[in-house]
Amino acid sequence: MPTPDSPVPLPSADELVERSHVVALPLVTRFRGITVREAVLLEGPEGWSEFSPFVEYADPEASSWLAAAVEDGWSRGPEPLRDFVPVNATVPAVHADEVPAVLARYDGTTTVKVKVAERGQSLSDDVARVAAVRAALGDGGMIRVDANGGWAVDEAVAALRALEPFGLQYAEQPCAGVDELAALRVRLDGRVAVAADESIRRAADPERVVAAGAADVIVIKAQPLGGARRAIALVERLGLPAVVSSAIDTSVGLSLGARLAAALPGQQLACGLGTASLLAADVTADPLRARGGAVAVRRVVPDAELLARHAAAPERTRWWRERLRRCAGLLAARTDVG
């Protein structure tokens, strides 16, 4: 019987494939360049879990996402300290006119994360979108922006100068590199806080963010970090305020994020776990959506009928199952996870 701290034994690739259901869920609006989100749902002995690394990620990176899915489906997971976690609304890089309709999909959220620095758009698009969010929120709510590393340091200084008057809680990954983030923080001199996302979840050495003084806040995602236990340990090691976020997961993956967030002690910043509202379809009739600005901390069991209705096309199912097998092979050889 594994204890909460003992490694979770890796199931065989055959078992993983037998327990897998591949789905393709339409989004209500384009996000991160996609309009359909594909995911593998695994019926583990301890509950359903999700394996959904972005399609362009190579197998070594995707294998960390599988470690998270195995840990979640094959073990009990961390003890929750609360029943609900506050979430932010997430606004994709839509036209400013579309902001009210996007926000209307979230119930009771008073923190909004706005995508900025989208390729093909300009700073004036970002300013108009953030202004529309501030107009909808009124003076009370919090706004964060996420540039996904899209700005050079000088561009970030100029963009944040233009966005700062709308009141920013922080700027998430304004520049791509850790050294750039550190240089930007010096230039901003505390006027806008900086959060690190890709510099944590895609980095070989997330500790560098702290060593370089590159961030005020860290963004923590269970799947890319290899599971809730590793994510919790990382938050403890880095010692910065953490925001738990997700990866356009189905409600099953969002449930892991909610259970991770609920296990973290201390002050809760709104989590990026409200994105079920961006899905036009989900795997359960009771999606993990925000109510009163928070999502419930619970496991999610997909409905068989919805798994069947949203099953991916046969060639996509084959593609994902082959990826699952390759990642299982890589994971079996890794000593840093499990």
Ligand X SMILES: O=C(O)CCC(=O)C1=CC=C[C@@H](O)[C@@H]1C(=O)O
Task: Using CB under 6 A, list all residues that contact ligand X.
Answer: 32, 88, 90, 113, 146, 148, 197, 245-248, 272, 275
Nearer to Mg ion, 180 or 197 (CB): 197
Residue 50, contacted partner among ligand X, Mg ion, none, CB below 5-8 A by kind:
none
Nearer to ligand X, 180 or 197 (CB): 197
Q: Which of 107, 86, 91, 4 is nearest to 46 (CA)?
A: 4
Task: Let me know: does 255 contact 287? Beta carbons within 8 Å.
Answer: no
Minimum Å distance from CB 118 to ligand X?
Answer: 10
Q: Which of residues 178-207 bind Mg ion (CB under 5 A)?
A: 197
DSSP H or E segment with residue 296:
strand 294-296
Number of residues this chain uses to bind Mg ion (CB under 5 A): 3
172 labelled as ligand-binding? yes
| Catalytic residue selected from 115, 134, 201, 229 | 115
146 labelled as ligand-binding? yes
Which CA distances in Å does 10 have to 7, 90, 149, 230, 328?
Answer: 9, 34, 34, 16, 8
User: Is 115 assigned a catalytic role?
Assistant: yes
- Write a three-state SS string for 25-56: EEEEEEECCEEEEEEEEEEECCEEEEECCCCC
User: Is 113 assigned a catalytic role?
Assistant: no
Interface map 113-152 toward Mg ion (x if CB under 5 A): ---------------------------------x------
Task: Let me know: does 307 contact 99? Beta carbons within 8 Å.
Answer: no
CA–CA distance, 1 with 328 (Å, rounded to integer): 22
With CB atoms as reference, the residue minimizing the distance to ligand X is 272
Q: Determine the Cα angle at 324 with ends 26 and 272, to 5°.
A: 45
Minimum Å distance from CB 219 to ligand X?
Answer: 6
Q: Which of 279, 284, 219, 229 is nearest to 256 (CA)?
A: 229
Q: Which of residues 254-283 bind Mg ion (CB under 5 A)?
A: none
Minimum Å distance from CB 31 to ligand X?
Answer: 7
**Binding site per annotation, positions:** 146, 172, 197
Residues annotated as catalytic (active site), given as ranges? 115, 221
**Binding site per annotation, positions for Mg(2+):** 146, 172, 197
